Structure 1
């Protein structure tokens, strides 16, 4: 591995990449180059000696599709670099990447052997199993569909919409049977419906649908009357905690807290002694003590001990809500239905996203012979972002990493093969508990690997952030990340990359706070508005200084909007900040916003569809007329109402309406009438197309505040119509009803994605979305906001704790005993994860990190600002403190008074109003717009290299020809090109020429034979015989003219000779031999364009371009 500069953890990196006799666990901190390490590991697996692996025998699993694509791109680049002649000379690859010289030194390969293995891997790359675990699971199921119990041609319901519709339909049919005259369990239903509404039962049934829920296991645990070992151990620990605290603080005259502790000891003791029936024997006095509000910590109590009592109280109150009788009754009714729905959905040819994992795990667990085949097929497993992988995925990985010949019946019993498994993760960045990521499971698997002799490597050299940023990060999280088994990992300080420099003059960390004056009762909402305005002003100032003061002291030269990221815990917190950015005229793009069904343009389009499908829908039609499409005011709507004209079929009633928009509205009425007739008669996507064609919907969206995003959202509706079009019987009316339901229920749905990476705009993301990304400037905004957690679950919750196997269900105000354990563990982990979320946010910054928040009069719990204050160890926001320190780091503090006045807009001072000057400016701008528009309209959408040749062509003296000769010459050229497209350069040329005499005879056959005979006798032909033909008549399409056009063409011959790539173009021009060079000069632009196309598409340099003048057997370089 080539590394020009020695870094502190270099040995650990090399050991991780090249150790093959032991499993490897890599703990890679933020920005430590784990992708480079993974690619190096792949290269060494391909090149190691002995036992090099083919790429087809390696599985590399990532957390996201984007990460998988990046890994493939990086691997392809390194493989091409190994093949490249520059690396053959032994030059260092740089950036810690593997080089030819390193492979020769380490394994003794020759250059040719390295190149051969790299070329083989490049050919196999597109077939390699480098992707997410979901995609790999789908691959396994397609290999063994019968054994897995899935349709061979199954499709994946990635967004869950198919299953939702299927579930709703099956629920209605099932209820008809259960509650109808033929139902056999009416008595049980009467009992259930006395306690629960039908909608609540629907929600519980839907909550049970996930394929990863073990329905049989859950039912068995609820039915079980005794505590499992896992539950006994956990409640025994709670009992000991309560006893220890009571012993420490008890007194003859007990206060509320000590009385509660005594009640807790009694409750937990009864549970452990008598099982589930124990709490029923709790005394009334103890129950009353448990239900009291503890208030604040009394004198003599530490805050930590008091918090522990409140946690024990919370568990106790949940314990008193345990009702296994009701839970068992509900599950016995609903579980058979849910099992039937799962089965019928699979039988219809679909799998849910989680169903992929459930079925893949079952395939490996329940079919040992198949598992053995796959273990032999895949000899190396690499898993990225292991801390974000959920426990079911851990099971799949452990089964595949099992020793050959062993067939454990459970993942817990699987003995792992040495040297097969390579995992990379960072428990400090585990922030996906809501996706079932389980840090306790992570610790369990890592400990198991290490107990089995795995090598543990820790990477701490950070290649991302400036030293002054890292010093603050290390100081903050040395204080916040305190090791707690199965809950919180310890902080591992990050080291700065040696000799790192910064293009920024003001690199480092800055804390900016809005603080309420003593006499000002600034609430959280007002504080947020002020802070949002300050954030927008800061961004505007940074961009202005970068643009106007480049090179000046304190300016950040080259800073653009796309270099700035504004991060939040939740996108629901962003609206005030977006408004402030709009006021400052700052372009921004939002990653991952899921308010698609709240967008006005989507609502307007749905109103239009409603009205077209149903002319009697007066509300929808009013929405159309009030929207930009109609543009009418309330007064004008009232006038139409009085005329009885609020019906587009009654256009006659617009007659005599004296209004400037009367003609426009009349035209709208006519179009809607036509659409009402035509739209139901065409397929659903075409119906939406009709709306776009007949009405200026896309144009109005483009002119709206959200511009490009609004257009993309409308086009997404069209794509959704296309996706839904294959559903049986889905008419326009049913499509409209589906959208009406979604508008009412407001499910989370992302807006149509724009190409954020190409937009020069401030990026607005959640911290979760920003994970894995980095930006020169990061602003962590709204640090005073809480986590927005609700006081309780919004609906039924099904819990599962992987490490203990405990499952639980919570429904209404009742739950099973397992839910008590899992809910409390989840609560503790959530509090720990909040600190890790802060860590991930702070480590996204390369040069400058701004921490922004407010200090309102009443602060909320769970704010990240509280964590920062705890790490610093002193109060934040004091006016006399311009700088703060934490550990070895220091950062600037800026405090802004919290005056919630009218929002400011940063703009130049307005000039005096001069109508003539302004009119002329507007006229000039409009004229320029017309000029640019005309220029764009004149450009063809698709261009070819021949277009550019025609522009450059000047007359060249050639052989005079008649019109008939010119036509025949063109036909000859076409025939020659067609023949050479299929010509066998390894075959007998005489035999192939003789075939031209076979019928049907062509008048041009003699001319074609003459040209080919000359070509065959030339050195050019011998050169092509030696070459490896990559392709003939190769079409290409590439963006052109800054993306406004598409350049397309066809390359006659693409070949490789002596390892180098060449392009050749046949020419059959009828010109004298002495005019060949001059004619070739006219085609030079074509050569340049072809080279650019090939290098863009293949990502490797082209050695040269050759014009082959077939009539003379000559090559002219292009």
Structure 2
């Protein structure tokens, strides 16, 4: 980027207001790269310098713990710089006091903040003072435990609700995702009403009539490439016509109708009459779907919806009771309990308002809707008003920063409609909305390339659920003599998706390898030059950005092949880790040593690496897949020695599981097997052993609880992996590495060279649920 900085910023006045108008509530809409966090720090510094608030009266809410650490460091640096620079003795005094009491300033996540409020006033909140906090994994496991117990109790009691669900053709397992979604929104009341049952008999008559006619044009002998979808649907009706008992059940009628709803594909040359097949494809089949099939299925699903929600709600309540019983709160509980505490107890609200006189909130577009209630209760002038939307914040008590265009965490309860509501409330109460548009992160070439794309995307869906388009106003000019701009890597699309991804990864790796080896130069900012950063490109200048987690391992392996150090940063699902899968096989074998399938899998895996031919020779020589049996003498010497070593180690591992506490045995196996050292070195990825430490930490926690014995500990590990909860594993990092990360983790970060990886079109899908929060009570359509 160029060092030519514009003399006049497009949003200079807005930036000045952030510092000067300290008696006014402000919401800052800060575009990408415009300095959201910087604006928050400048505001905090201005509040301290003015003497309006002491540092312990300020609370700054961040989206992640990592962001809180960064904010704390930058805030301290800003206060120190201001203390050195100011000549005003009064300001110096305020800043000196702030430096002395910096630890008293709350800087952290909303969940930690709520936990702090609840621990200070647990009695009014109706909580056990010793309540514990559930993290994501423990919460997921408890949620699944509650669901399994609920279903088991229904089966034992032969519950009518379970029987009715089966009559509707719905398996309880199919409602697991619905149950989890409703659990995620405990404050939302599911909206449902009884719908009339559709006339399935008439719909079945229609498809029978259609099938009778269409079957005349279906060949008796199945075509070489198989029947097409419509033919399969017709034949399914033909087969079932004679089975009255089958068709009289509603769920079987629905199955037949669903076959036709998926029968769009008609292959003309598989019918005896192409003309008739074309007629079915272009009109008759579509007419049947539009007039009969789809309306009937829609009515059926609406009819079933009320019953499914009624079936799920007791499980949600049971899960809530289970948490209460063990005095544990998940993240939603922390927010809801804090909100209710502040809403229902005016004296408590007044107490905390005196303690935290100013709230500053970062990344507000991605925070939980309940957070809006909490910040308005803590800043609202009327401590007796229970409706948070009617509260007017005290002047200068609220400062919110966000960017609706970067709202990407809806799957974590973020709600852009609430952001827009808060924005309106701040304006209505005399506050101001300021826009920061100057982008300090990107070059003009980036802005000119992306702005037309963003304008089209955002303009196509404007409304209360979509952000208003705001162009990226880049301030840095390109330098034609340096590596700048947007480049395209053209690769061929392979039949196999992973082959295409592998080709993309190889192209990226070659570019990185070439740029580093040939000493490409990047233009640095004045700040970077002052910090002694060389213009020569290094590995840390590169970021590989993926939309999803899938495929990260391919890019990692290819970088390793090219000798490029890398770090896979951010959230990863442990159940996707190959080394964890191999470890689980080994632990399962230690739990069930007579399982020959498992012992073969372990011998073939990363721990011992026997080939299929080695195993064949072993078996052919009379060997038994039991590591307590002897190795056959007629096996060749080298192979016999290899099997002898492998069986000895497996016996040693098994002995540890019998003699030592479960987690101690697991840790010794991980270390002695070489998995720990291998995971830290393999593939140049310095983060891999973080997965193992995370697993051990979780299992120790379970061992301290109710999980006793090695077998139960292995079961616990399997449940943890099945839960698929994402863990943030940044335990080991190295300064000079290429970063591989997904979109959500990369938010707010920057890199001189960014590769947008995985060359596949993004998928789109219909919303699976909708939350309405405009009234007094939120309603959900799940």
Tell me, yes or no, whether TM beats 0.5. yes
- Aligned position for 2:366: 388
TM-score (norm 1): 0.56
After superposition, give the CA deviation of every residue in 1:897-952 in whole Å (9 maximum; x if it has no partner). Answer: xxxxxxxxxxxxxxxxxxxxxxxxxxxxxxxxxxxxxxxxxxxxxxxxxxxxxxxx
Corresponding residue for residue 339 of structure 2 = 361
- The CA distance in 1 between the partners of 2:549 and 2:417, in whole Å, is 28
SS of 2:483's partner is coil
CA distance in 1, matches of 2:593, 2:134: 34
What are the Cα deviations for residues 666-704 of structure 1, in whole angstroms up to 9, with x where unaligned? 244334324323323332331123224544333444564
1:574, distance to aligned residue in structure 2 (A): 4.5
The residue correspondences of 1:505-904 to structure 2 (distance < 5 A) are 505-514=482-491, 528=501, 530-546=503-519, 557-574=535-552, 577-578=555-556, 580-592=558-570, 594-642=572-620, 643-650=622-629, 652-655=630-633, 657-692=635-670, 694-702=672-680, 704-705=682-683, 708-741=686-719, 745=722, 747-750=724-727, 752-756=729-733, 758-782=734-758, 784-789=759-764, 799-803=770-774, 818=781
1:77 equivalent in alignment to 2:77: yes
Q: Report the alpha carbon displacement of residue 176 of structure 1 after superposing the two structures with TM.
A: 4.6
Q: Residue 629 of structure 1 contacts residue 700 of structure 1 at CA under 8 Å; is this kept in 2?
A: no
Distance 1:124 1:681, change over 3 A: farther
Offset at residue 175 of structure 1 (A): 4.2
Call closer, same or farther: CA 1:150–1:540 in 2, change over 3 Å. same
Counterpart selection for 2:86 from 100, 113, 122: 100
1:628 and 1:700 in contact (8 A); partners too: no
2:545 match: secondary structure? strand
Could you say what secondary structure the match of 2:385 adopts? coil
Which digits, 9 at most, give the CA deviation of each residue in 1:734-762, with x for residues without a partner? 1212334555x472544743444x34222
Distance 1:344 1:631, change over 3 A: closer
Change (3 A) 1:601 1:361: same
Residues 201, 575 of structure 1: alpha-carbon distance in 2 compared, 3 angstrom cutoff: closer
TM-fit CA distance, 1:347: 2.8
2:326 aligned to which of 348, 354, 371 = 348
Retained in 2: the 8 A contact 1:713–1:751?
no
CA–CA separation in structure 2 for the residues paired with 1:549 and 1:136: 42
Whether contact under 8 Å (2:141, 2:719) holds in the other structure is: no
**C-alpha displacement at 1:496, in angstroms?**
4.1
What is residue 163 of structure 1 aligned with on the other side? 139
Question: SS of the counterpart of 1:463?
Answer: strand
Q: For structure 1, which runs of at least 5 residues remain unmatched after alignment?
A: 88-98, 105-109, 227-289, 296-311, 810-817, 820-1118
**Deviation at residue 317 of structure 1 after TM alignment:** 6.2
**Contact 2:567 2:738 (8 Å CA) reproduced:** yes
Rg: which structure is higher?
1
- Report 1 or 2 for greater relative contact order, CA contacts < 8 Å, sequence distance ≥ 6: 2
Name the SS for the 1:408 alignment partner: coil
Deviation sequence 1:356-380 (CA, Å, 0-9, x none): 1122222222323322222232211
Report deviation, 1:24.
0.9
> SS state of the match for residue 183, structure 2?
coil
Q: Find the counterpart in structure 2 of residue 1080 from structure 1.
A: none
Distance (Å, rounded) in 2 between the aligned partners of 1:649 and 1:522: 46
**Alpha-carbon offset, residue 136 of structure 1:** 0.8
Distance 1:53 1:699, change over 3 A: closer
- Tell me if 1:197 matches 2:183: no
TM-score, with length taken from structure 2: 0.78
Which residue matches 1:1031? Answer: none
Aligned-partner Cα distance in 1 for 2:496–2:626: 48
Partner of 1:959: none
Relative distance call for 1:79 and 1:648 in structure 2 (3 A) is: same
2: distance between equivalents of 1:800 and 1:120? 46
Match status 1:423 vs 2:393: no
Root-mean-square deviation (CA, aligned residues, Å) is 3.7
CA gap of 1:481–1:678, structure 2 versus 1, over 3 A, is: closer
Q: Provide Cα deviations, 1:422-465, integer angstroms capped at 9, x if missing partner.
A: 11112222222222222222122112211222122222222222
- Give runs of aligned pairs for residues 971-1050 of structure 1, distance below 5 A: none
Q: Tell me the residue number matched to 1:213.
A: 186
Residue aligned with 1:646, SS? coil
Residues of 2 paired with 1:459 and 1:581: CA distance? 38
Rounded to whole Å, the distance in 2 between the matches of 1:601 and 1:186 is 43
Once the two structures are TM-superposed, the CA of residue 776 in structure 1 deviates from its matched residue by 0.8
Structure-2 separation of matches of 1:475 and 1:400: 41
**CA positional deviation for 1:808:** 6.6
Alignment correspondent of 1:32: 34
- Alignment correspondent of 2:116: 139
Q: CA deviation at 1:785?
A: 1.9
Structure 2 residue aligned with 1:287:
none
Distance 1:318 1:415, change over 3 A: farther
What residue is the counterpart of 2:62 in the other structure? 62
What is the CA distance between 1:383 and its match in structure 2?
A: 1.0
How far apart in 2 are the matches of 1:727 and 1:804?
43
1:205–1:334 contact (8 Å) kept in structure 2: yes
Q: Give the deviation of 1:579 after TM superposition.
A: 5.1
1:292: Cα distance to partner?
A: 12
Q: 1:121 to 1:190 in 2, by over 3 A?
A: same
CA distance in 2, matches of 1:401, 1:592: 34
Contact 2:343/2:349 (<8 A) preserved? yes
For 1:451, the equivalent position in structure 2 comes to: 428
Contact 1:540 1:586 in 2 (8 A): yes
Question: Which deviates more, 533-542 or 745-754?
Answer: 745-754
Counterparts of 1:224 and 1:28 in 2: how far apart (Å)?
46
Kept in 2, the 8 Å contact 1:402–1:416? The answer is yes
Partner of 2:46: 44
Gaps of 5+ in 2: 197-260, 267-289, 525-533
- What does residue 228 of structure 2 align with? none
Q: Deviations over 1:239-283 (max 9, x none)?
A: xxxxxxxxxxxxxxxxxxxxxxxxxxxxxxxxxxxxxxxxxxxxx
Give the secondary structure class of the aligned counterpart of 2:469.
Answer: coil
Matches within 5 A, 1:460-539: 460-482=437-459, 484-497=462-475, 505-514=482-491, 528=501, 530-539=503-512
CA distance in 2, matches of 1:703, 1:461: 42
Distance 1:704 1:591, change over 3 A: closer
Residues 332 and 27 from structure 1, CA distance in 2 versus in 1: closer, same or farther, beyond 3 angstroms? closer
Gap change, CA 1:684 and 1:425, over 3 Å in 2: same
Q: What does residue range 1075-1090 of structure 1 map to in structure 2 within 5 Å?
A: none
Any idea what the Cα deviations from partners look like across 1:699-740, whole Å, max 9, x if unmatched?
Answer: 444564466444443333322322322121432111212334
Cα offset, 1:26, TM superposition: 1.2
Given that 1:504 and 1:557 are in contact with CA atoms closer than 8 Å, whether structure 2 keeps it comes out as no
Q: CA deviation at 1:564?
A: 1.0
Q: Once the 2 structures are TM-superposed, how far is the Cα of residue 148 of structure 1 from its aligned partner?
A: 1.9
| CA distance in 2: counterparts of 1:446 and 1:326, whole angstroms | 39
- The corresponding residue for 1:222 is 192
Alignment check: 8 A CA contact 2:451 2:472 kept: yes
CA contact (8 A) 1:395 1:411 kept: yes
State whether residues 567 and 767 of structure 1, in contact with CA within 8 Å, keep that contact through their aligned partners in structure 2: yes
The answer to whether the Cα contact below 8 Å between 1:387 and 1:442 also exists between their aligned partners in 2 is yes
Distance 1:700 1:575 in 2: 16
Q: Contact 1:800/1:806 (CA < 8 Å) preserved in 2? A: no
Alpha-carbon spacing, 1:406–1:364, altered in 2? closer, same or farther (3 Å):
closer
For residues 775 and 200 of structure 1, the distance between their equivalents in structure 2, rounded to whole angstroms, comes to: 43
Q: Hey, what does 1:1039 align to over in structure 2?
A: none
Cα 1:751–1:13 change in 2 (3 A) is: closer
In 2, the alpha carbon distance for the partners of 1:149 and 1:671 equals 54
